[in-house]
A and B are shown apart, each in its own frame.
Chain A
Amino acid sequence: EVQLLESGGGLVQPGGSLRLSCAASGFTFRSYAMSWVRQAPGKGLEWVSAMSGSAGSTYYADSVKGRFTISRDNSKNTLYLQMNSLRAEDTAVYYCAKDAVPASLGVGYFDYWGQGTLVTVSS
């Protein structure tokens, strides 16, 4: 059974940093691209960042480029999101999502999602 378990969310002040983790199990982690998708309170879904299975390629939404860094440790089956210079508009539930196809860069749609971790940016 595929499982994705996010952790690391919490309350942080504007300008602060936070590191999210996503522990994966039930599939060959290194074979799949992984993404972070966020959802602000009461709002829709926004793709944030993705990383290829081999960890050789990374992609970011313009809204987080230069502030967020995605990484993964395939030996630990874990995906990370380092978030720096946080802003109030980064407040959201952050989901870890598995790409649906075992290709290095994936296909861009997601067949499994974690339950999410809430990040609140406020003073």
Chain B
Amino acid sequence: QQQVKQSPQSLIVQKGGISIINCAYENTAFDYFPWYQQFPGKGPALLIAIRPDVSEKKEGRFTISFNKSAKQFSLHIMDSQPGDSATYFCAVNNFNKFYFGSGTKLNVKP
């Protein structure tokens, strides 16, 4: 059973545009919701994370929106740049286990 569902599978955005990636989960025991960025040949790197007691967190061009009642959270990348082209994974955490989404491959066109 997939613990977190991520969409879309791939995304093409023009430079300067907004990239939006969505995730949904079922288990209300999850209490930490990170986003990871992965470049080819590299391991995932933590981008930004949120806890369920806040509805939004912003770090630079990256924002997480969190809807606890809907059990959904999303990553917004403002002013998307070609260097943002990578695969993005959402994850949910319960104590010592992370469950990752299936990933979104983002391509930012110059």
Is chain B found bound to chain A in the same assembly?
no
